[in-house]
Amino acid sequence: MFIWDGGLKLARADLAVDFARRQPRAFVSHAHADHIARHEYTFCTPGTARLIELRLGRRRFLEMSYREPIEWGGLQLTAYPAGHCLGSAMLLAEDGAESLLYTGDFKLGRSATAVQAELPRADLLVIESTYGRPQYRLPPREQAVAELVELVRRTLRDGAIPVVHAYILGKSQEVTRVLTDHGIAVVQHRHIHRVSQVYEQCGVGLGAFGLLGDQPPANTAVVAPPRWRPGEHWPRAVRIAVTGWAMASATRFRWSVDHAVPLSDHADFDELIEAVERVGPRTVYCTHGPESFVDHLAERGFDARPLGRPWQRRLFN
């Protein structure tokens, strides 16, 4: 049903999926830089379209609303929420004989800024498996949120500036909403602020936040990109990374931060297993993660295979 040629293509419709290089037609699951390109014609949700326009300028889109199937090239295509960031979507492709679900980046749990993921059943599953190692079993969301809020409040009580480092699109908006929901004032780095304005325009409120100037106002948290450094003239800053990679002890040192909080917008190991069980596929293809995840699925009785090796170029039925 699909071809792998340095990326996934739906064979009958000749539709590329999350290709990093320009294609005549491509479905884009979400607007992170490693999933978009200057395609001639882009299939995506309205939220993803607005974010792509922010990053790449005006493009030609076929906008897909969640759960509303369209017909294209002999396939029925349906976008389902992925729970990852604004506009993120899984793609269900059906040809009348079999079905394929492509997850893209996803998270099953609750989010403050993304529609919660929905998993239809499918014969074939192509699953993003970033956290496909058992060590990446993340704590409950409520625990990670409480840890982040307490770190920020304690830093403010101590008279220091909390600088929360998060990816520009998705995680920064989630962090901002979490903090403002707990009554903490936020200012954002200019690159994050531009993305947050698109969120607000698309109806995803982030609370009371502002644009970071030369120095943040008193009693205010700063949300900034990873590895960004405060100005030398600032008072003392406490740097906090928010990432699922915080489960690895080396992350705090690798990111050069004081604290690392394991709040993620990706499915952790247990959610990946749960997703496969809920979809109930005949065959699972794993991508963007450790190949050892294939072995974990095989141990549970699934026909699982790695996908995305550089040398692979073949047709999958």
The SS3 call for residue 264 is coil
Q: Which two tokens stand for residue 295?
A: 């072995």
Q: Quick: pLDDT tens for 158-167.
A: 999 999 999 9
**pLDDT, tens digit (0-9, with 9 covering 90-100), for 244-265:** 999 988 899 988 999 999 999 9
Query: What is residue 19's predicted lDDT score, i.e. its pLDDT?
Result: 94
Q: What is the pLDDT of residue 224?
A: 97
Instruction: Give the pLDDT score at 272.
Output: 98
Residue 25 CB partners (closer than 8 Å, separation 6+) = 13, 14, 15, 16, 39, 40, 41, 43
pLDDT class of 311 with cuts at 50, 70, 90 = very low
- The confidence score (pLDDT) of residue 234 equals 86
Tell if the pTM clears 0.85, that is, is over it. yes
Q: Taking residues 44-53, what's their average pLDDT?
A: 98
Q: Which domains does the chain have, with CATH numbers?
A: 2-135+266-316 (3.60.15.10), 141-261 (3.40.50.10890)
| Helix (H), strand (E) counts: the chain | 7, 20
Share of the chain above pLDDT 70, in %: 97
32-41, 145-154, 173-182, 307-316: segment of lowest average pLDDT: 307-316
pLDDT tens readout for residues 102-155: 999 999 999 999 999 999 999 999 999 999 999 999 999 999 999 999 999 999
On average, the pLDDT of the chain sits at 94
More confident site: 79 or 307: 79
pLDDT band at 309 (very low <50, low <70, confident <90, very high): low
For residue 59, give both structure tokens: 């493009």
pLDDT digits (tens, 9 = 90+) for 24-44: 999 999 999 999 999 999 999
CB 2 within 8 A of CB 8: yes
Contact 149, 182 (CB under 8 A): yes
CB 83 within 8 A of CB 58: no
Q: Compute the average pLDDT of residues 276-285.
A: 98
Q: What is the pLDDT of residue 239?
A: 96
Q: What are phi and psi of 43, to 5 degrees?
A: -95, 125
Sheet holding 304-306, edge to edge: 70-72, 75-81, 89-94, 99-102, 124-128, 283-287, 304-306
Average pLDDT over residues 266-283: 98
